[in-house]
Amino acid sequence: MAGVVVLGACAAWALITAGVRDGRPEGVLLAILAVAAGYAAGRICGALLPVAAPAAAALTGVGLAVSFPHLAPGPQLDTPLGHAGAMAALLTLATGAACCAAWAAGASALRLALRALAVAVAVTAAVLGSTTGFVVCFAVLLCSLAAGRMRSRGPGIAGLALAAALVTGLTWAVAGHAVPAGMASSLEGQLTGHRLRLWHDALHLAREDAVLGVGPGRFGELSPTATSTLLSDGKPHSAPLQQAAEQGVVGVALLAAAFCWVLYALWRTPRPTPVALTAGAALTGLAAIATVGNALSFTTVSVGAGLLAGLATARPLADAPPAPERKARPRGDRLTP
C-alpha cells in the first residue's frame, strides 16, 4: 500500500506540474509505469523461481548492457553524457541480481557458480570501458559478502540510506558552488565542465520556482547550456536536480520517498538478510549513478530497478506455511444439537 501511494503521488504531481507549467509528463509517467511493472514481475517471478529468476535477470542485464547503445532511441551521444551511465546501471543491477541468486541457492556448487557470474559481470564492465560500472559492481560484491556476516539488516539499510543522502548532498553542493575550489577542479576533470554547467542551470531554475518547478520535460528549453549544445537530450544528467528544476521541492521529496519505500520494503521482506542487503546495495549504487548521470531516463533501467526490488521482496512459495489438515468426518457421524 505504501508503494502504491508513493508511486501514485509521483504520477499525480507530475500531472499537476505539467498542467500548470505546460510541461510534458509522458517521460515521468513512463518511468513510473516501468518501475511498477518491473516490481510486479519481480514479485511473481521471485515467488515461483527464487534462484532461477534473479540469475536469468543478471544474464539479461549483461546482454542489454553490451548492446544498449543500439537499443536506445535518439542521438547516440558520446560519453560521459551518453549511454555510459545507463550501461553502468544495468551492470550494477545485474551484479546485484547474481549475488541475490547466489544467496538464495542451496547447493554450494550452484552458489559458487552464481558468485562467479557476479564477478564476470564486474569484469565485463571493465572490458566495456565503464569505470563507474566496474567500481560500483565491485562495491556491490563487497557489500554482498559483508551482508552474509550481519545478523540484523537494520544497520545495513540505514547505512545505505546514508550513503545515498551523502552522494545527493555532494552533487547539490557542487551545483551550488559550495565546495572548495580544489575539490571543484578535481570534480570538473572527472565529470566534465559541460555536466557541471547543466547542474548549475538546473539549480538556478529550481530557485526560480521552488514549489512547482518549470514543468516536466522543459529543462532542455530553458537551460542556456542545453540550448547552446548541438546534440543535447534536454536533461541535466542528475535525477534529483532534474526533479528540483522541473517539479520543485515536492518532486524531490517524492523521489526520496520512492527510494525510502524501496529500502523499507527490503527491511520488511521475509527473504534472508543477505538477499535484502545485496539488493539494497545494488539499488543504492543505481541511485548514486542516477545522481550524477542520466540512467533513470532509460526505460530499461527503470524496469530493471523495479524487477530487482520485486525479486528481493518476493515471498517464495516454498517458504509458505503448509495449510492445516482437516480431518475427514466419517459418513455415519451426525451433528448433535
Tens-place pLDDT, residues 137-159: 999 999 999 998 888 899 999 99
Q: What is the mean pLDDT of the chain?
A: 86
CA 276, 280, 282, 286 torsion-angle sign: positive
Q: Give the type of residue at 6.
A: V
Closest C-alpha to 301, from 84, 98, 151: 84
- Supply φ then ψ for residue 207, to 5 degrees: -70, -25
More confident residue, 198 or 79: 198
What is d(CA 210, CA 251) in angstroms, rounded to the nearest whole number?
Answer: 10
What is d(CA 37, CA 170) in angstroms, rounded to the nearest whole number?
Answer: 32
pLDDT at 189: 73
pLDDT at 337: 43
Whether the per-residue pLDDT at 199 is higher than 50: the answer is: yes
In a domain, 322, yes or no: no
pLDDT at 214: 92
Query: Is there a contact between 295 and 44 (Cβ–Cβ < 8 Å)?
Result: no
Mean pLDDT of 63-70: 75
In a domain, 328, yes or no: no
Task: Please give the tally of structural domains in the chain.
Answer: 1
Burial code (b: 16+ CB inside 10 Å, e: under 16) for 126-163 equals eebebebbbbbbbbbbebbeebeeeeebeebbeebbeb
Whether the per-residue pLDDT at 74 is higher than 50: the answer is: no
Mean pLDDT of 76-80: 44
Q: How confident is the model at residue 318 (pLDDT cuts 50, 70, 90)?
A: low
More confident residue, 321 or 199: 199
Question: Could you identify the residue written with the cell 545485496?
Answer: 278
What is d(CA 319, CA 134) in angstroms, rounded to the nearest whole number?
Answer: 35
Closest C-alpha to 167, from 297, 289, 262: 289
Least confident of 53-57, 72-76, 225-229: 72-76
Q: How confident is the model at residue 320 (pLDDT cuts 50, 70, 90)?
A: very low
What's the residue count for the chain? Answer: 337
Mean pLDDT of 165-183: 87
Query: 262: domain range?
Result: 2-68+78-316
Mean pLDDT of 268-289: 95
Q: How confident is the model at residue 69 (pLDDT cuts 50, 70, 90)?
A: low
Least confident of 118-127, 216-225, 253-262: 216-225
In a domain, 29, yes or no: yes
Query: Is there a contact between 253 and 53 (Cβ–Cβ < 8 Å)?
Result: no
Q: In a 3-state reduction of DSSP, which class is residue 234? A: coil
Query: Is there a contact between 234 and 251 (Cβ–Cβ < 8 Å)?
Result: no
- Supply φ then ψ for residue 325, to 5 degrees: -75, 140
What is d(CA 253, CA 266) in angstroms, rounded to the nearest whole number?
Answer: 20
In a domain, 212, yes or no: yes
Query: Is there a contact between 101 and 271 (Cβ–Cβ < 8 Å)?
Result: no
In a domain, 73, yes or no: no
In a domain, 336, yes or no: no
- Other residues' Cβ atoms within 10 Å of the Cβ of residue 42: 27
Whether the per-residue pLDDT at 332 is higher than 70: the answer is: no
- Other residues' Cβ atoms within 10 Å of the Cβ of residue 332: 5
- How wide is the angle at C-alpha 256 spanned by C-alphas 186 and 95, nearest 5°? 70
Whether the per-residue pLDDT at 297 is higher than 50: the answer is: yes
CA 28 to chain centre: 15
pLDDT at 209: 86
In a domain, 327, yes or no: no
Least confident of 41-50, 72-81, 113-122, 187-196: 72-81
Burial of 180 (C-beta count, 10 Å sphere; 0-12/13-18/19+): exposed
What is d(CA 132, CA 137) in angstroms, rounded to the nearest whole number?
Answer: 8
